[in-house]
Structure 1
Amino acid sequence: MKKYFQSIAYVVSVFAAMYGLHIAITTYEKPFDIYENPLVWIILIALILMVLLRELVNIVALERVEKLELEKEGIDPETVDRYAWFRKLLKKWTRSKAIEEEGEIVLDHNYDGIKELDNSLPPWWLYMFYITIIFGVIYMARYHMFGGDDQATEYQKEVAEATRLLEQRKQQNGGVVEVVVDANTATILTDEASLGRGKAVFNLNCASCHAQDGGGGIGPNLTDKYWILGGDMKSVFTTISDGGRTGKGMVAWKSNLKSKDIEKVASYILSLQGTTPKKPKDPQGELWEEE
């Protein structure tokens, strides 16, 4: 029964991790940016660790079965060298001599009783040395004989490429360069695409405390007219970006979310005003009225 429970728990855990990874990848614009979206990498590493742990458990189980079979055949498991293949491989790649064989490579001279061994260079060291020679020849030919780009040339090319992308972005935005949004320049967005993006980011990062319908949980209700830190666009943007009250409010999200996404989340939150959640939390803060 325990075996089946472990298998079921493993399958469920892997499925949950893959589902969480799918949600994160489809939600974020750049899901594999480790600085903006560490959640993707955390789930990915957790998934890999689960698979490795499962394999480790299987290896331990196989070793136990092998030990029992040896005992049935009357063989002492302690006398079986399971790592003979590794020792053979290690000896091949290091060309090391056993202590009993060192007499074969002792040089015919000593210093105050100190003898010297004529050990061969390890193959792994020799191969790495040969690789550095080959790399050096290719490098010299590429950059000193055939005119490869030096650092200054590479820099100039990267600047030219960045300038081209900037001009392309200007053309896409009607000649205006995209700027970073802050609390003073953020506006309430009402188009379907922006609200859809805001909802996706809200469900991933905010719903655990405020509920998916905004009715509140650990965090306050976002559908009523009562606000702790203000209910206009500037206040909501600032609260999301810089965090709530010190010591008991939510954390700052400016290091995890782009400013444009914060603007979309704030717009989505404000669009929840007047809706009816399933389990609305009691009002918190003060009644907010637009000036």
Structure 2
Amino acid sequence: MKKFFPVYVRVPLLFALFFFAVEWLVGGDGEKPAFMEHPVVLILLGLFLFALIAVEIVASATNKILDRLMTPEERAAKEAETSLPFSQQPWVKKLMSKLTKTKTIQEEADVMMDHDYDGIKELNNELPPWWVGLFYVTIIFSVIYLLRFHVFDGDNQVVEYEKSVAEAQLQIEEYKKNAPDMLTADDAKYLTDPADLAVGKKLFDSNCMACHKIDGGGSIGPNLTDDHWILGGGIKNIFHTISEGGRPGKGMVPWKNNFKPSEIEKIASYVISLNGTNPADAKAPEGDIIWSKANLEEGAADAAPAEESAPAEQVAPAGEVASTEESAI
């Protein structure tokens, strides 16, 4: 064995097996191995490595002493044995004999049958033990399978797949809830925290005031402080309008490439916070959809864009000047 597994292979291999066994027993993982969380494991690994090296040193010294004590005949026999190919090694031949129960040529007379066909005789060899054992294993497996899936109605592959898909879908939905930058209009919430509104105000002041004024009273874009909305009020509609843009040829451009979804949610929340204020020189109301911030306080759902209002796909009404800079909120 030492010929095929030298010391520089045995020691690392045995140490690696011991290391993974300890990690599995203690409960370590790839991000934080057990020896980092439990320093005593590191001591145990060090002692095992020391013991391995000590055993190898002692074994090597013992072999050298025994080799010197051998007679020339014993040394020659040992060299002849170690020079044999792998398949002719005594331990390999012994193992194969146990696995196959083959008979030597000298033992064939014991299993010879009376059949004789033109000088060809038949041997009554035993079935290989490994084959018989595997056959018994298949019988045991079939009984367990029968009971598991046909008697006790266990989940088959289709049901297991469907359950796995359903579980994965739940994990995806849970992940989306905790991943702000994967927000959609349906997931957006009206934020009332002052820190969130402050971020929304900063983004609004630097990007939206040119069309809506800094107080939301409206300039090129509509007034954001009254209860009239062109594409619908409420967090979901405002989020969608900011993200996807307003009416083609008239409304503002989509901002989804400029802001993260979490930032759009903060801007939309700030826009809602402007509702009901009374800025000076506010623009006249526009839009046929009526919605106010009071709806949120009353627990009402967001107002959906009405069919008679101007949705994002509708052309600008006659008499209005088309402008790519005008907002359609």
The answer, yes or no, to whether TM exceeds 0.5 is no
Q: TM-score range by the shorter chain?
A: 0.3 to 0.5
Which is higher, the Rg of structure 1 or of structure 2?
2
What TM-score does the superposition give when structure 2 sets the normalisation length? 0.35
What TM-score does the superposition give when structure 1 sets the normalisation length? 0.39
